[in-house]
Amino acid sequence: MSPAIPSGPSTDSLPGYVRACALTDVPDEAVVGVDVEGTAVAVARTGGRVHAVADSCTHEQVPLSEGEVYDGMLECWLHGACFRLSTGEALELPATTALTVYETAVVDGDVYVRLDPGAST
Ligand code: FES
């Protein structure tokens, strides 16, 4: 299991967002696991875009941050389920349930994640 990257405090310029990691921590077509205020988040980059989803496969709850990223999808390393990173949709069996997707922002070389869509602080 790869070590999670520690996250930092939220920033005043992005209410509700929490710094997850540096953009350079996430190479294109790759995924890393980040502990964001106690929530396991898989931060992935594909086609130059950054996505954040729950770091747990909806099939058997293994970390998706150990999976593979390609063509906008994240593939689970254990049984091969594929999820669309932009929507969380399960595209390939054996997973049938979508992943939780978090909003992301990239500011000054850092990736921020919004865990709670209704958060305003
Ligand atoms: S645990 Fe991910 S596909 Fe089975």
Q: Nearest C-alpha to atom 4 of ligand 1 is from which residue?
A: 79
Compute the distance from residue 12 Cα to the ligand 1 centre, in Å. 38
| Cis ω before 6 (30° cut-off from 0) | no
Instruction: Give the contacts of 113 (CB within 8 A, at least 6 positions apart).
Output: 17, 18, 20, 34, 36, 41, 43, 52, 102, 103, 104
- pLDDT, residue 12, reads 67
Measured from the CB, is residue 91 less than 6 Å from ligand 1? no
- pLDDT, residue 9, reads 53
Q: How far apart are CA 108 and CA 106, in angstroms?
A: 7
- pLDDT, residue 11, reads 63
- pLDDT, residue 3, reads 44
Tell me the pLDDT tens digit for each residue of 72-120.
Answer: 999 999 999 999 999 999 999 999 999 999 999 999 999 999 998 655 4
Tell me the pLDDT tens digit for each residue of 13-64.
Answer: 788 899 999 999 999 999 999 999 999 999 999 998 999 999 999 999 999 9
- pLDDT, residue 7, reads 58
Q: Which of 58, 62, 74, 91 to mutate to test the pocket of ligand 1 (most atoms within 8 A of CB)?
A: 62
Q: Write down the pTM of the prediction.
A: 0.89
Measured from the CB, is residue 103 less than 6 Å from ligand 1? no
